[in-house]
């Protein structure tokens, strides 16, 4: 703005504060047509104290009044004109004084508000300073506490580092032991898998032999049915006994399958069980011998019936030459195979235990 530019030029040219304020008053009043006030002067110049612009304003108005005063005390003027001129001058002086007083009152009010604001700011600053001092003292105490706590934490950290090193060594040792145990477990699992595979092969072979035996038994039963159709009622009992024997063999096969599944954990009891199985097989062999004797008795009865039929002139049924004996011989072979397989399994388990 031009006014601020002119004031800056005056500030550079004039160093005296009162003279600078008077020049600014003249610049505002005569060049820009503005009525100068103490508050506005201070806001524009910002130099000296608050009383400097008020004093400069009073001096400016006094100078203006001195320069613009009209001397009406000439003897050639009428008394009315001189009286009117005096009243006009008095009126102008009163108006100028009122304006100056009003401006001074406004300046005082502004100054009081600024002083009150400054006092409040000073009080607030003092309170903030006290708060800052208290906070600083508290921060100093907290810093001392933190330093003591840091010392304790450093000592604790050294202890934890030592414990960490020990735990790391223990963890490394545990990992090595775990790796060794894992290797041993893998070897044991592999050996168990191999042994289980062998047992499964043996089990499958036993099942195949039992299936072949069952097929041969069924074929023999069919041949016996064909050869002894007329004695079906008597042979029905033998067939029932064979069915019971087959069920017993099936149960025994199931028991052997379960025993093979649990062979690794029950090897210590297998020898006792094999002994009991041998006793049971001996008793069953006795039962089979009894069945064979019963079959032989039936065969003799059939031969007697055949002779009677021949003597009576009827055609006799062709009898197979002792199918029971061949069947019993094959059963003995099967039992020997089963005993050999069980004995081999027992010898293998005892060798592994040793």
Place of tokens 């002792």: 322
Percent of all residues in the chain with a pLDDT value above 70, rounded to a whole number: 81
Q: How many CB atoms lie within 10 A of CB 203?
A: 18
Tell me if 27 sits within 8 A of 3, measured CB to CB: yes
Query: Given CA atoms 321, 322, 325, 331 in this order, what sign does their dihedral have?
Result: positive
CA 184 to chain CA mean position, Å: 34
Q: What is the pLDDT of residue 286?
A: 92
Place of tokens 């043996």: 202
pLDDT tens, residue by residue, 154-172: 888 888 888 888 888 888 8
* pLDDT range class, residue 335, cuts 50, 70, 90: low
* pLDDT range class, residue 222, cuts 50, 70, 90: confident
φ and ψ at 135, to 5 degrees? -65, -40
Q: What is the pLDDT of residue 85?
A: 66
pLDDT for residue 323 is more than 60: no
Question: Which CA distances in Å does 320 have to 184, 292, 303, 317, 325?
Answer: 62, 15, 11, 10, 11
Q: What is the pLDDT of residue 248?
A: 85
**115 or 75, which is more confident:** 115
Q: What is the pLDDT of residue 324?
A: 47
Residue 206 to residue 212: CA distance in whole angstroms: 10
Residue 27 to residue 15: CA distance in whole angstroms: 17
Residue 17 to residue 231: CA distance in whole angstroms: 157
pLDDT for residue 303 is more than 50: yes
Residue 317 to residue 303: CA distance in whole angstroms: 9
Query: What one-character-per-residue DSSP string does 74-108 give?
Result: -TTS-HHHHHHHHHHHHHHHHHHHHHHHHHHHHHH
Residue 328: half-sphere exposure toward Cβ, Cα within 13 Å: 17
CA 192 to chain CA mean position, Å: 39
Q: What is the pLDDT of residue 89?
A: 67
Residue 351 to residue 354: CA distance in whole angstroms: 5
Q: Which pTM value belongs to this model?
A: 0.26
Q: What is the pLDDT of residue 238?
A: 76
pLDDT for residue 115 is more than 80: no
Tell me if 304 sits within 8 A of 231, measured CB to CB: no
Tokens of 92: 């102008």
Tokens of 316: 């006799």
Residue 56 to residue 19: CA distance in whole angstroms: 8
Segment 217-221 mean pLDDT: 82
Tokens of 102: 């009003």
Q: What is the pLDDT of residue 338?
A: 45
Q: Is 281 exposed, middle or buried (0-12, 13-18, 19+ CB in 10 A)?
A: middle
Tokens of 177: 């032991």
**81 or 322, which is more confident:** 81
Tokens of 107: 């300046």
Residue 59 to residue 149: CA distance in whole angstroms: 71
pLDDT tens, residue by residue, 235-274: 788 788 888 878 887 888 888 788 778 877 887 887 888 7
Residue 337 to residue 335: CA distance in whole angstroms: 5
**324 or 213, which is more confident:** 213
Tell me the three state secondary structure of residue 164.
Answer: helix
Residue 345 to residue 347: CA distance in whole angstroms: 6
Averaged pLDDT score across all residues of the chain: 78
pLDDT tens, residue by residue, 172-213: 887 888 788 788 888 878 887 888 888 888 888 878 888 888
Residue 50 to residue 289: CA distance in whole angstroms: 144
pLDDT tens, residue by residue, 63-106: 887 776 555 445 455 667 666 766 776 677 678 767 877 877 78
Residue 27 to residue 14: CA distance in whole angstroms: 14
CA 200 to chain CA mean position, Å: 46
pLDDT tens, residue by residue, 1-58: 578 888 888 888 888 888 989 899 888 888 888 888 888 888 888 888 888 888 888 8
């Amino acid at each position: 703005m031009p006014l601020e530019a002119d004031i800056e030029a005056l500030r550079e040219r004039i160093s005296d504060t009162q003279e600078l304020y008077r020049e600014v008053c003249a610049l505002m009043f005569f060049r820009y047509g503005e009525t100068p006030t103490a508050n506005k002067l201070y806001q524009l110049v910002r130099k000296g104290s608050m009383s400097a612009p008020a004093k400069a304003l009073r001096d400016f108005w006094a100078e203006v009044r001195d320069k613009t005063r009209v001397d009406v005390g000439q003897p050639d003027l009428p008394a009315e004109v001189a009286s009117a001129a005096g009243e006009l001058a008095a009126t102008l002086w009163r108006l100028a004084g009122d304006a100056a007083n009003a401006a001074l009152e406004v300046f005082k009010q502004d100054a009081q508000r600024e002083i009150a604001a400054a006092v409040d700011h000073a009080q607030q600053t003092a309170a903030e300073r006290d708060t800052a001092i208290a906070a600083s003292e508290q921060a100093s105490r907290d810093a001392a506490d933190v330093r003591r706590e840091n010392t304790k934490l450093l000592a604790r950290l050294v202890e934890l580092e030592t414990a960490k090193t020990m735990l790391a060594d223990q963890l490394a040792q545990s990992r090595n032991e775990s790796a060794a145990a894992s290797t041993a477990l893998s070897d044991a699992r592999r050996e168990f898998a191999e042994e289980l595979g062998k047992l499964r092969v043996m089990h499958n072979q036993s099942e195949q032999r039992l299936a072949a035996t069952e097929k041969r038994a069924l074929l023999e039963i069919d041949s016996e049915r064909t050869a002894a159709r007329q004695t079906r009622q008597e042979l029905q009992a033998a067939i029932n006994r064979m069915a019971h024997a087959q069920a017993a063999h099936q149960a025994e096969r199931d028991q052997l399958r379960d025993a093979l599944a649990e062979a690794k954990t029950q090897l210590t009891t297998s020898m006792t069980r094999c002994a009991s199985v041998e006793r049971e097989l001996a008793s069953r062999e006795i039962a089979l011998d009894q069945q064979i004797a019963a079959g032989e008795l039936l065969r003799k009865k059939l031969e007697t019936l055949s002779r009677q039929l021949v003597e009576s002139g009827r055609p006799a049924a062709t009898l197979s030459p002792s199918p029971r004996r061949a069947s019993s011989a094959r059963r003995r072979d099967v039992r020997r195979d089963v005993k050999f397989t069980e004995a081999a399994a027992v010898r293998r388990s005892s060798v592994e235990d040793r």
